[in-house]
A and B are shown apart, each in its own frame.
Chain A
Amino acid sequence: MGTSQRYRALTRDLMWDPKTVNTKKIYPLVEAEGIRLKDPSKWEDPFRMTFNQYVKIQSEKDQLHHAVRTAFEANYGHTRVIDGRWFEGVKAFAVAVQPAEYAAHRLMAYIGRNIPIEAIRFATFNQAIDELRHAQIEIKHYADMSKYYDGLHAYAQTNENLWFNTVPKSFFDDALTAGPFESLIAISFSFEYVFTNILFLPFASSAAAVGDEHFVSVGKSVQSDESRHMALGMSALRMLLEEDDRNVPLIQSWIDKWYWRAYRIFSVISTLVDYYPRVRPISWKKAFEIYVEEQVINGLFKDLARYGIRPPRNFEDSVKEKEHYSHATMRILEHYKHANYFRGFRLQPDDYEWLSNEYPSTFDRYYAPFFRRMDDHVMAVASPGLPAVCAVCQIPVEFPDPDHPERPWTQYAEHNGKTHMFCSPGCKQIFVEEPHKYVQWWWPAESYLNGEFGNSLEDMFKYFGFAPEEANEYYSSRDYHRWLKYRQQLGLDKQYGSIVTD
């Protein structure tokens, strides 16, 4: 019996047409969104993973990763990176990405439960359990960091309550509350297929360049599962497009919405590529050109044209923004670094040089003067209070219009007699199409004004899950001094004489 025939036998024709209850009661959401299915049984899961193969491959992979982690922890690998400021970026990644992995775990189970297609179901179930894996190896990753550094010790509380975390949280909450097909396109296609390469690959190379072996292993181990998830996303998309022509406009509207939604939550990733590592293997701009423009827009969307699918509505905006994205985002982080569990930092001479070389047309002109203001006082650029944020992506509305970088890109829309504010045309369009959904967002500033965070600043930090000393600027922080002290204790800064060769 051939492999594919065997795979089919193991994973298909397992559900049946029920005789005592209505099928629609078993799958109450299948018609809710207007997707039409004709013969989805012909659809194939590209990875053809069985239960036995899954547990064998994954347990070996998992064992390898945890061996790297254990060695890293035993040898205090965190002291060996070339500059401890890297961990401020890792903190941002950790507390934002891990809860997103966990949400994706619940979400994939929801999709698999509600879409009556067995091939999709087993693939989504594998992914559901993978996402739990990612959440947990990421927690293990920063559990060790938390014993030596600030900011992570109440990560779950921080994730629930802090303004910064509403960005990835609202993204996944948006998908979790959508119908199962929209969710599938949102996560499997728009998030996984279009963006996970740029999420995990450049940041993992930065980790390798600065010597963070634990994070390299997290990135690689996670990414090896993502390739399965990407394949699922691609097959799911083609299947829905081929099932019925009337699905095309609906799918297009979801691609339009979720492309911009996903692109926006990766804004912080751009700073983890361009700013936090002291040695940078690639810039955000180049990574965006390779992983998004080349692979996705010029590659994938050319293939999708035959289905009547065009590139996502706002992709040109994201292309224009590549010259500004990391700088504008880092500027936002510097503005609010006193209210975050990870720190900004004063740029060093080599940072200015690299940024200026990589972004010759924008960095010196629009952004360097802002960062220079920190030369005299590291908190000079901080904005008081909590930021005003976009009602869709929930990032502070401080992005410049890429066509006129001296002007803000902020947009407004009226709904039910109230004005709502957005960071960009992309987010505004998303709101205008589903205002009743987006007015439901949880806005920390509003909760703060309603007294939910308590009466004092001290109460507010307690609510966020960290103390004011855990925020602010890195090179003037206690974490920097801890890192120096750890290195000194381990003798890592000892200078050796020159090598005698004969």
Chain B
Amino acid sequence: MVDSKRSLTPIRRQPWDWQTRNEYEEVTVREQPYLHGHYRNKYYKSDHDIYDPRYTALRSSNWDAFRDPKKYWYTPYVHSRKKLADSVTEVFDRARRLGIYYTIREPWKSFSAQLYIPLRHYEYAGALQLQHVIRYAMGCPIEQCATYTAFDKQGRSQWLTEWGITFPGNETDTALQPSKQMWMEHESFRKLREYMEKLLVIEDWAEVIVASHLTIEPLLGRLVYGNLNSTALQYGDVIIPQLSLVCQDELMWEEQWTQKFIEFIVNDPVTNRWEYLQSLGYADWPGDYRWGNTLSDPRQTPEDPRSNREIVSEWMNQWLATAIAAIQPLQMLFDEHGIQYEVQDSIDSVIEETLIPFIKKMNLENVQV
């Protein structure tokens, strides 16, 4: 009970002049400055502003209007990941104490080492390229999601490594070298590795999000952290399925915010960046005195004639086909070890249950699946 005599009346109910509905918005909205950057990049796109709408082909009337469906800011994010990290530690600890690894049957035992340890490289490369997104994306609401997702990927890469050095390798790091060799040289991983190499040179930050979270991740993530669980259990492996449940939590959020982002961007009717700058107040300035001097005039910026929806559709088209082709060869690894599983079935179910409904909902025309 608050004693009314001992409570003070604030001079304003909201801390900020702009409306915020919760703590997440309080600490996220307008955190990134949009105006009055001081200098241009010395070595990269030197005619761009520090935070510039031209780092992506997509256009928005208000980059700050995006919201994370889970409302993660640092505090809830780090608390939630602490719980996940604790449960991974417990799973590994119990498995070790119970000697579960010795009860896991072949051929799953050697197969799982060859499938899961190399994926540490996949997760790591995803985290690396998200750092490009963190630097160049517009607005805190979007890049904050990329930040936590990148950290999740770093975490998964470490969990897979820890699993790799604890179980199959028996408390040494001897498993890591052969698994890197698998990643580099084995035909089953070749296309996936090449996919990640191509991802690492994408310049448009929004395309990175599409190529990483809308195509390869649903396909691979659902396979290795979901659909394979029942097979693992058949061979007595309860470690991978429990680790997978934790990873699925992270992947679900990643997919949720990415889909929300696509929804946000394809429904924005703005077709050029000048309109966005006008919304920041540039319209009232009869020519920023710096344009032509140090900045290129955004009115002169060539705009992509395609709509956001068309651009996203083309990205999806291109990357989804490549992603499917990158996952399919994993079948070879299953066949080599004699694991009865059809990778194509997993791909088909992801396309059917996740991607097609999403593509329809977003009206992404001409995406071939």
Contacts and interface: CB of A to CB of B under 8 A. Distances in A.
Given A113-B131, A156-B16, A442-B36, 15 more contacts: A16-B121, A55-B82, A102-B32, A106-B134, A113-B129, A129-B74, A135-B27, A147-B10, A169-B36, A173-B39, A177-B41, A441-B38, A441-B39, A451-B285, A451-B286
B34 A160 contact: yes
B200 A26 contact: yes
B71 interface: no
B65 interface: no
A52 B173 contact: no
A377 interface: no
B288 interface: yes
Contact of B16 (A16, A25, A132, A153): A153
A177 B50 contact: yes
A58 interface: yes
* Contact residues of B: prevailing secondary structure: helix
A347 interface: no
B326 to A, nearest CB: 12
B188 to A, nearest CB: 15
Nearest to B24: A136
Contacts of A139: 26-27, 31
A19 interface: yes
Contacts of B157: 14
Contact of B8 (A1, A5, A148, A154): A148
Interface in B278-298: 285-286, 288-290, 294
B50 A173 contact: yes
B194 A51 contact: no
Contacts of A122: 154
B11 A147 contact: yes
Contact of A66 (B38, B43, B75): B75
Contacts of B140: 102
Contact of B39 (A128, A143, A437): A437
A62 B78 contact: yes
Given A178-B42, A440-B39, A26 B155 contact: no
A451 B84 CA distance: 54
A45 B289 CA distance: 46
B173 A1 contact: yes
A214 interface: no
B22 to A, nearest CB: 12
B285 A173 contact: no
Given A52-B89, A110-B135, A132 B38 contact: no
A154 B16 contact: yes
Interface in A350-384: none
A1 B165 contact: yes
A155 interface: yes
A140 interface: yes
Contacts of B27: 135-136, 139-140, 143
Contact of A132 (B82, B147, B155, B172): B147
A490 B4 CA distance: 10
A75 to B, nearest CB: 10
Interface string B289-309: 110001000000000000000
A99 interface: yes
8 contacts: A16-B193, A21-B198, A125-B127, A142-B15, A147-B11, A153-B15, A153-B17, A177-B40
Chain B contact patch, size range: 35 or more
Chain A contact patch, size range: 35 or more
Contact of A15 (B23, B36, B125, B143): B125
Contacts, number: 244
Contacts of A21: 197-198, 200-201
Interface of A: 1, 5-6, 8-11, 13-16, 18-21, 25-26, 28-29, 32-33, 50-52, 55-56, 58-60, 62-63, 66, 76, 79, 99, 102, 105-107, 109-110, 112-113, 121-122, 125, 128-129, 132-133, 135-137, 139-140, 142-144, 146-149, 152-157, 159-161, 166, 169-170, 173-174, 176-179, 437-442, 446-447, 450-452, 465, 482, 486, 489-491
Interface in B178-232: 180, 183-184, 193-194, 197-198, 200-201
Nearest to B148: A129
A99 B50 CA distance: 14
A156 B158 contact: no
A62 B33 contact: no
Contacts of A15: 121, 124-125, 128
Contact of B165 (A6, A56, A137, A490): A6
B96 interface: no
B165 A109 contact: no
B30 A156 contact: yes
Interface centre among B16, B79, B125, B151 (most CB of A within 10 A): B16
B158 A486 contact: no
A278 to B, nearest CB: 22
Given A9-B173, A160-B36, A177-B42, A132 B15 contact: no
Contacts of B41: 177
Contact of B74 (A29, A106, A136): A136
A359 B86 CA distance: 54
A29 B237 CA distance: 45
Contact of B11 (A161, A176, A482): A482
B194 A20 contact: yes
B144 interface: yes
A59 B39 contact: no
Contact of A113 (B32, B135, B289): B135
B255 interface: no
Contacts of B101: none
B154 A62 contact: no
B36 A146 contact: no
A385 B73 CA distance: 40
A160 B198 contact: no
Contact of A136 (B75, B82, B132, B161): B75
Contacts of A99: 31, 33
Nearest to B173: A9
B144 A132 contact: yes
A107 B147 CA distance: 12
Contacts of B85: 51-52, 55-56
Interface in B129-157: 129, 131-132, 134-135, 140, 143-144, 147-148, 150-151, 154-155, 157
B55 to A, nearest CB: 12
A9 B154 contact: no
Interface string B9-20: 011110111100
B208 to A, nearest CB: 11
